[in-house]
Chain A
Amino acid sequence: MNWRNETVFVTGATGFIGGRVCERLVQAGAPKVRALVHSMHKAARIARMPVELCPGNLMEPETLRQALGDAKIVIHCGLGNAGAIVRGTENMLAVALAAGAKRFVHVSTAAVYGITPPPGSESEDAPIRKTGDAYCDNKAAAERVVLRYGRRGLPVTILRPSIVWGPYSAWSTRLVDDLRGGRVSFIDGGRGACNTTYVDNLIDAMLLSLENDRALNETFFITDGDKVTWGDFIRAHVAMMAAPPQVGDASPEEIMAARPKAVGMIMGSVKAAGRVIRSKEFRELLMRIPVTEALVKWAWNWVTSLPPEKRDRLRARFGVRRTAAVAAKNGKYIPDPVTVATQSTTVFFGIEKAKRVLGYEPRVRFGEGIQRVEQWLRYAAYLD
């Protein structure tokens, strides 16, 4: 199928991956790109392109029908909260099927095997087990829904990238901030498999999927194919900085020793509670209480109605800053459990199937990707 003659519909278009999908489609001369936009104020990046901004919400099928319009190709990068991952994907699939979509590319994740994928999950046919992590398990459930719609006649393809990085990616912006703030350690010498997936390589795989009938109802790992470790990834960012920080090593023993202490557990619990309170899931539950909903909406409307300079002042007053420094204990920073888990896998995902079936070949290798990211970080004022 030749997607170059078709209107392409992109969900998650205001996000990192979806935004770059829109850019690539415009660069490739796609005749019409329609972008699903949940929060219009977040669309500044894609609003500079000839892309139709289509208001809608993955949780509201009627808005999806309108937003999809005449598009017959869907690239589903939309995420939403844990509940929306499955429900929102199903809504999009149902609307696409009803509209007679010719292709539906679903951006899943290698994290369907968990935050620390176990040995044996190197290839796509490895069995998926429940991990207990809401994101991982919901993405796995969403894949099952996609395949179900595939069996009902919707031409679907599932792509499983891993650490998707590139310009605009939080993997780099957060890492630079954390390096500056002394909040980075090499976990076990930085030996963990990073499984980088440069965003353009992922998009190459999306476009190949659209063109290749052998991609239908198939699932593919997509990575850069380089055996990049977390140590490589972190060191490449350290090298970009004008004053390169010293990054210490946190061994498994030190990480274990730092966790079970009573104070550590209390602090960990407080931090975990904070994460729960800040989570979308908790906010959704909270919003079911009518009084809370009214109060939150009032406060939110008040804050968001302030002119930008006033909001900047509020952010500064309440310490919401990009580079708030956190002192490392004894010169060594012990990362949070999710970071430790993410950087502890030994599994490098195989891309042989993508190469064989799609003709996928990662065009941006690690070195070039780092160069592009560095250029962008300087432009975007993350680096001096």
Chain B
Amino acid sequence: MKGPVRLAILGCGAITRSEHIPSAMAHPQVQLDALVDADLSRANGLIQNRGLTCKAVADYHDLLGRVDAVINALPNHLHTVINQDFLSAGVNVLCEKPLTITAMDARACTELAEKKKLVLAVGMNRRFAASHPLLKLVMQEGLLGTVRDYDFQYGGAFDWRSASGFYFDRAKAGGGALVDFGVHMLDSVIDWFGPVTAFDYQDDDWGSGIEANAILDVKHDGHWGEIKGRLRLSRTFSLKNRLLIRGSQANAEISVQDPEVVVLHRAIAGKAVSQTLRLDDYPAGSSYLRQLDNFVQSVATGSKPEVDGWQAVRVLELIENCYAHKRRIPEPWAETAGTKVARSEARA
């Protein structure tokens, strides 16, 4: 493709305001043509507020075939149909996570993109934090020795103020914490450690299908052999918010607060030592700008994006399996008052 990529952004909610518009404005090969929102005043407000010259569009059908690419940042339940409409019209798609609510829909979108020879990339911005490729290098260099297991925690009081508030509606969101930020965590660990071959999943859904807390124990069997891991997610409590990988020679830690570095913990002459590693020649800018750049290069050259639809299919299949085989997290403190409480269960 010659010339700039003509881009439209679908949905003018929180993530578009904070990340997609700044990234599109900063990218030299992107020409932002339109902001799409059913609430036209929201799109116009953003255009005015950011000094953009693009147009505001209420109905995305008006753009079919008139742009080269779109970023789909609409609520989850709108992803499938709109992705398919744009792909069918010959438009490349970068879709916010999760690609779709079901693995079947993700597969359909991915197959359509392949058939049309178009790029379908999935918004997994954490792949573009420097720590992601850096951890691969650390393992390749054998700095951890044999990787044994990992503990990945991410949680805090939920305060994502989306414009539509779809996240507490099972039909629109597809689930709770697991399908929300769990997709990021699963995408990362599958990319690092290989496919998940066994799992045990628990959450605290009391019947709405929108869990606030989830605990997922997994076993990977990939290039590094068998690795066990635990992922813990919470929308109600602050967790450790880090990935800790334990190896025979050293441990590696990636903090959510600083995803650009990997911290190695090991012992030298019996003394505990920490060492912060960073990639010196990694591209500047936010992970969203790097993600957009990867998408733009894929559109321009026809190369495979860093996170394609098939990876999303793998993650969504695992999530569906988790939901299908879930157990309730024991909450003895919430049992009817006056009953005996089992002390050991809550320590699990």
Contact = CB atoms under 8 A, between A and B. Distances in A.
Interface of A: 23, 26-27, 40-45, 47-51, 53, 166-167, 198, 200-201, 203-204, 301-302, 304-313, 316, 322, 363-364, 368, 371-376, 378-382
A316 B168 CA distance: 28
Contacts, number: 124
Query: Chain B contact residues: over half helix, strand or loop, or mixed?
Result: loop
Nearest to B288: A307
A316 B310 CA distance: 36
Given A48-B205, A307-B19, A380 B236 contact: yes
B346 A26 contact: no
Nearest to A27: B336
Given A50-B207, A305-B161, A45 B156 contact: no
9 contacts: A23-B334, A40-B165, A42-B157, A44-B176, A167-B334, A201-B337, A304-B14, A309-B257, A312-B156
B166 to A, nearest CB: 10
Nearest to A55: B165
Which 4 interchain pairs have the tightest Cβ spacing? A375-B346, A200-B337, A363-B338, A44-B235
B160 A308 contact: yes
B254 to A, nearest CB: 11
A374 B346 CA distance: 9
Contacts of A305: 14-15, 17-18, 161
Interface residues of B, number: 49
Contacts of A379: 331, 333, 346
A48 B331 CA distance: 14
B237 interface: yes
Nearest to B161: A304
B160 A41 contact: yes
A371 B257 contact: no
Nearest to B238: A322
Contacts of A198: 337
A44 to B, nearest CB: 4
Interface centre among A307, A316, A371 (most CB of B within 10 A): A307
Given A47-B168, A53-B168, A373 B18 contact: no
Given A45-B212, A51-B208, A371-B341, 15 more contacts: A26-B207, A41-B160, A41-B165, A42-B159, A44-B212, A47-B210, A48-B207, A49-B207, A49-B208, A53-B168, A198-B337, A307-B125, A313-B258, A372-B332, A375-B343
B230 interface: no
Interface centre among A304, A308, A322, A368 (most CB of B within 10 A): A308
Nearest to A51: B208
Contacts of A167: 333-334
Given A305-B14, A372-B332, A378-B346, A45 B207 contact: no
B347 interface: yes
Nearest to B168: A47
Interface centre among A43, A311, A382 (most CB of B within 10 A): A43
A45 B336 CA distance: 18
B181 A308 contact: yes
Nearest to A23: B334
A200 B15 CA distance: 40
